[in-house]
Structures are given as structure tokens and as C-alpha cells.
Structure 1
């Protein structure tokens, strides 16, 4: 078996395929596992990503599940460990990024790590400790209205300091641009002052490589998939990826399942509906007990095989807030996730074999409903979103698990070309 170079724990399923795509493109033999496998499971890979659904659960549960995954990876003697979270730092004042990072440092008997959610390929950069989405600070982007993790502060040092007892500081760009030796010197002084987590500026991929080289002696990295690019480069990853699992196959029945209400996904839904049929899931109907799932499945079965169909729960921020106030944040989200999961399961049982799923929480719910155990990485559709393949009792499934914020307006239309 190949030596395990990187053991990664991802806090949601879209993030897992995102970072696995980076490892695979860097030439590492990569596998995504859904949840923690049995202790005796044998996995032949240089990079293993364990996908969890811990981004929005209670911090104590997130820590417990994440530590179980880390301990499984430690039994495989990974050379480096990686905690993957979103490039928009999706979290709340209570966590879960801070608590999980703190627990990982303790488990690994380490006293220092970095936090770097920069992903320049998708317009996520960090300057003076502030996270930018494109040209605007995080708190001025669509993330300010996220239904589960609204980001009201772009300063990651402040955000992270609220989530952990550890001391947090920033390694700013004037240091990063001077190279790995300058970053190492800064870190030495920071550690002497009791700093345990360094929020590290990055404006481009070259910065991420410098950062990874400077900290390559650390056992633990935390960040988005951009930092994974830097780490693979610093470790001398391969230059070619032979893991493309795209198949020479006749096109299967296709569907898009969208639970995200992000600005990007709302635009993608609007674009697809211009010349494709869609069925909208209404939260009020779900809450009233109407057979929304049955109606949606009947609607879909009558249309499968023409063009890709769209089942969506898109709503504007005002409608999302109103639903949350009526039903509660968790209850409103669960209603939608459960409905979309049940609809997806019925579609797959009726021959759909190529699926795009939009939204981190939705993707997690759908993959669990399908009882998927592992994913193989295929062709990249857009930065952060590859096609993946899994074996299912109905046959081979092709899935694209898309973070709500990723992709251009034609993502739902153009993704199929990559198959």
C-alpha cells in the first residue's frame, strides 16, 4: 500500500470533494470516505479525506466526530493532518472551526497551527487578517445573509478568537511576500509570545506555496482547499493526475438538486429555468404536511429523459428569514434537507445516474440518504467542484457536490460537458 502522506478531515461533503480534487490534481492517489470507516478498513491512498457533516452541529458533537476521524487517520500514520473548512470560514461565534482546531492540536500534542481559508481561484483572499470574497469583505458579501452561518465580521482573527481559548494572531502579507524564511521567523516570535493559531494572509497561489513551505514541519494544517494546493506543492506532489474516473458511457438520466440559497446558486437556478423545467419546494407546504415529496417525484418521472430537470428550494434572504422565524432555524433546514434527500433517492431508483447537488448541507443529506461509502475523484468542472463517482445498488452514479457559493451562472448547464 502507498504511504499515507495526508490525512484530512472535512467539515462537509462539498468541502471534502473540493480538497480531494486539489490533492488528486497534485498527483496524489486520493480517496474520499463518507464518515469514519471500520477500524480494519484497508484504503490504498496517499491522501485520504474523511467527509463529515459537522459544520453546523453543536460544537461538542463536532469535536467528538472530528476527533474520531482524526484518530482513525492517525492509526494509518499520516505524515500530515489537515482540517478542511469552507473558504468563507462558515461558522458561528461558538464554532465549530475554533473548537475542532483546538481539539486537534491537543490530540496531536502540538502547540501551533495556521488558519488559512484563502482560495484565490475562487476569489477568496486574506489581507491583514480580513477575508475578502472577490472585491468585498466577507461581511459585505452574500455570506452576510447565510441562513445557517451568517458571517457578520470579515476579520478572521476576531472571529476565531471568539471560538477558542487559544491565542490567535495574524501573519500579514508584508511578511508572507518576503518568503518562507520570513514567515518562519515571524512564527518563531509568535510562538514565543504564546500564539497558538496564526491567521495567515494570502493573495495568490504563490503565497500559499510560501506559507506551506514555511510551516511544512507542522503536523496540522487548517484551511480551505487553496492551502491544500500549497501543501501538495511543498511536499513535492506529482505533476500529473491519472485518477480521472470519467467513463466512456451513454448519457444517463440527469437531475439537479438545489438546496442552497446563496447568491451564486440563486443565479444558477434562474439561468437554468430559462430553458429547463424545474419544481420548487415550498417550505410552507412541507410544514403543513402536504405530500410535497410525492408530488415532486411524480412531476419528475413525467419529465425524465428530455433535458436535465431541476428540483430546487431556492429562496431570497427575506423568505429564508421568515421561514426560520416561523419554524426555527434547525427545523426549517431539516424539512428541506429531508425532502430533497427523499426526492433524490426516488429519482435514482427511477434511473437518474448523473446528479448535481448544490449546497453543503443538502449534499451531506443526499449522500447519506444514498448510503454512499466512498467517492472517486473525476474531472474538474470549476474550481472547487469535480465530478465524483460512486458505486450504488442501482449502478454507477456520477455526482457533482457543489458548494452554494461556487460556479458561474451557467454551472448547472455546462457541468455535463465534463462527463
Structure 2
């Protein structure tokens, strides 16, 4: 294995895997730290964790365990992947995990760059933008678990870490890999272990990747991986070739627990099309008014693509959190979706679509999946995934995809044109 990746959630890890696969690397996504060795043909291995919002100490411990396994597979370079909206709190978990990995690898001048221009995420003058809005004005400031109220990544990361945070500005990045390398070395000389790097174009991410060819550790969103496969290709280390996607016949279903504006719009579009949909409110989940067997039975009785969703607006989510507590509401909904996914697949569903990072994690865990292979893109940042000989899935971050995402995902999973 050449490149070892640690993802802090399942949807972002699949987004990363799609990027590396398009770049020509034979990539496999593992669900948690594997018990045994990787297949020798794997060139990029992604250990997908569910560590984004767990206690800091647990996130660090899980990430270091993933690092140990990846190094045992022969990886000479490690990538820590987090969300392109830098989802975290003032306590972590991005900073503490990045710092712990850097210390374990004796790395300094480590790139920190969540930019993903294809999805509208850009870092400029150390600030994170979502399209033409600062992160703190993009809707992420109302995130129920990791509200992002400060777009200055230098300031946000400094709250999470012990050491000073560096910065490579766009004026340097635009000058290319050599200039970036010199700037990173200068930041390293100043004792700055973690360095925010600006990037507003794919070309900037390619230059950052080239500059990091020999770096033991890189951190960022999936966009930072754009330039990494070429580093291995120029050394003749990639076998090449693309996996074939045959599609999956059978029945389909979709589960959505994301409260992002994009997913709420996708749910609304699905309902407006006349497709079957059933809402699960926090009240119904918390009081036991609805359970997984009832939801699975409902889905089995529908034609087309049935959608089960709990994608409420932020105000409704806040009210539920005030009544029962945010952690309890999230845990109850995740458990409900996990069991529903298990019953759906046991009942014959062969194409399953999950929207939202926490929902996707619950689905993957509920199905007991251990590794995923990559197929064609459904939308930017969302690949089709092969979870077994008779199961294809899609795991979507809340903010990704167009209005018709659910229908498009079903067509791609089935092997039809998007």
C-alpha cells in the first residue's frame, strides 16, 4: 500500500476514495481499523472512522490505531481527511487528531487545507468560503453538532491545538509547488507544525499535492488528494486500470437524516415528484411512536424509490434538542436508521442510498460492512459503492448533490445513465 488515509466519517471517506480512484489509484475503503492485512493490490487504503464528533481522546486514539495499521501495510505517506467545511468544535477534533498524527510521524510544516473548489469550498487569506459566503454565513453556523461560527481557519485551529498555526497565502500558492515547498519549510523552521494553505482552484490543490510529494503527513478535504496520485505515477508505482461497474438490479430505498439546506431541498424535490416518502420526526423517534420494522414494512409496500427521512429545519432540530438533549436525539435517530437499513437489506433491498454523514455512518454500521469498492460518480463528492455481491450503496454528505440526487443515485447504482 502506497498511501494510507484516515477519514473522520464514512461519507467523506467515500468522497476521498472517488478522488483517488479517478486519479488512477486502486483504492479500497475500510470500515474501521481492519483485523487483518490488506489485499496486496491495494494502492490507497482508507480507514473510515466515525470520529468527527466523539470525545477528543477517543478520536485521537482511534486515529492513532488507524495510523498503526496503515504503517504496517507499508504506507509511506498518510492523509488525514476531514470535511471541506472543517466541521469541528473549539475543542476538536481536527486539531488534536492532526497534531497527534504529526507527532507520531515526526512531521512539521503539515498542510491543512479543506478546500474543494468543485463543491464551492475555497480557502483564501486563511478564511474558508462556501461559494460566495464566508463559512460562518453559509448555514454551517447553525449546524446542530459542529456549528462553524468563525471562518478564520488559523484562529479556529489555534483554539484546538497546543502550538502556533502557520499559513501559506494564495500569493505563494499561485507561484507553484517550489514556492509552496519553500514556504512550508519556512513555517517548519518557525516551529509551526500545522500550516493552513490557501486554495481557490483545482490547480492550487494540484500544486499543493506536488509540493507534498515527500511529506509524511497531509491533512485536508478530499480535494487535497487531487495531486497525490501523480506523485506515485511519475515514479512508476501505480498498476493502472479501472474497476468495471455493472450496476445492481433489484429494489431500492433511501434514508435521509441530514438537516442541511441541500438535503432538505432534495427531500422536497423527491416529494414534489410524487415519489413515496415518509417523515420520521424526533418526537416519533423519541416516544417510540415509530420503529424500524414499521418503516421497513412501509418501504416494502411502495413502488419506485421510497424515502424515509428526518431532515428537519434547524429550528425544529433545536427544539427537539432542548427537549431531550442533542446527544440523545442523535443517538436515537441513528439507531433507528441503522436497524431500518438492516431490515431493508434483509427484506430484499439491493440498492440503498443514505444522506447525511451521521446517517451514513449508522447505515454502514447497521449493515456490518467492512470494506467498500468504488464505482462511478453520482455527484461531485459522492461515488457509487459496491458493498457486496448483491448490494450497492451511496453515502452522501449533507451538502452535496443536485435537487434530483435521490433519483439520480438510484439510476447510477442500477448501472443506468445518470
What TM-score comes out, normalization by structure 1 length? 0.94
Equivalences for residues 6-155 of structure 1 within 5 A: 6-40=3-37, 42-155=39-152
Deviations along 1:42-87, one digit per CA (max 9) or x if unpaired, are 4530000011100010010000011000000011121210000010
Alignment partner, residue 302 of structure 1:
301
Contact in 1 for aligned 2:109/2:184 (Cα 8 Å): no
Distance 1:315 1:43 in 2: 44
Contact in 1 for aligned 2:7/2:82 (Cα 8 Å): yes
Contact in 1 for aligned 2:253/2:299 (Cα 8 Å): no
Contact in 2 for aligned 1:245/1:379 (Cα 8 Å): no
Contact in 1 for aligned 2:379/2:401 (Cα 8 Å): yes
Gaps of at least 5 residues in structure 2 are: none
Distance 2:108 2:168 in 1: 17
> Which of 181, 203, 216 is the matching residue for 2:200?
203
Deviations along 1:353-408, one digit per CA (max 9) or x if unpaired, are 101100111111110110101101011111110000112xxx52100000001011
Equivalences for residues 337-416 of structure 1 within 5 A: 337-391=334-388, 396-416=390-410
Contact in 1 for aligned 2:129/2:135 (Cα 8 Å): yes
Alignment partner, residue 263 of structure 1:
261
Deviation at 1:302, TM superposition (A): 1.4
Contact in 2 for aligned 1:245/1:377 (Cα 8 Å): no
Distance 1:329 1:248 in 2: 38
Distance 2:121 2:74 in 1: 32
Contact in 2 for aligned 1:24/1:241 (Cα 8 Å): no
Deviation at 1:240, TM superposition (A): 10
What TM-score comes out, normalization by structure 2 length? 0.95
Distance 2:212 2:296 in 1: 51
**RMSD, matched Cα:** 1.6
Deviation at 1:410, TM superposition (A): 1.1
Distance 1:241 1:316 in 2: 45
Alignment partner, residue 176 of structure 2:
179
Counterpart secondary structure, 1:162: helix
Provide closer, same or farther for how the CA distance between residues 126 and 240 of structure 1 changes in structure 2, counting only shifts above 3 A. Answer: farther
Counterpart secondary structure, 2:233: coil
Deviations along 1:318-358, one digit per CA (max 9) or x if unpaired, are 00111111111111101111111111111111111101100
Contact in 1 for aligned 2:292/2:343 (Cα 8 Å): no
Equivalences for residues 200-239 of structure 1 within 5 A: 200-236=197-233
Contact in 2 for aligned 1:209/1:234 (Cα 8 Å): no
Deviation at 1:311, TM superposition (A): 0.4
Deviations along 1:144-186, one digit per CA (max 9) or x if unpaired, are 1111111111111111101010210211101111111221222
Distance 1:175 1:308 in 2: 49
Deviations along 1:227-271, one digit per CA (max 9) or x if unpaired, are 10122234437999743342255x310111001010110000000
> Which of 333, 337, 343 is the matching residue for 1:336?
333
Deviations along 1:114-146, one digit per CA (max 9) or x if unpaired, are 100011111111100111111101110121111
Deviation at 1:101, TM superposition (A): 0.5
Provide closer, same or farther for how the CA distance between residues 241 and 261 of structure 1 changes in structure 2, counting only shifts above 3 A. Answer: farther
Distance 1:310 1:417 in 2: 15
Counterpart secondary structure, 1:357: strand
Counterpart secondary structure, 1:95: coil
Distance 2:365 2:330 in 1: 16
Distance 1:7 1:63 in 2: 16
Gaps of at least 5 residues in structure 1 are: none
Aligned residues: 410
Alignment partner, residue 170 of structure 1:
167
Counterpart secondary structure, 2:226: helix
Deviation at 1:291, TM superposition (A): 3.6
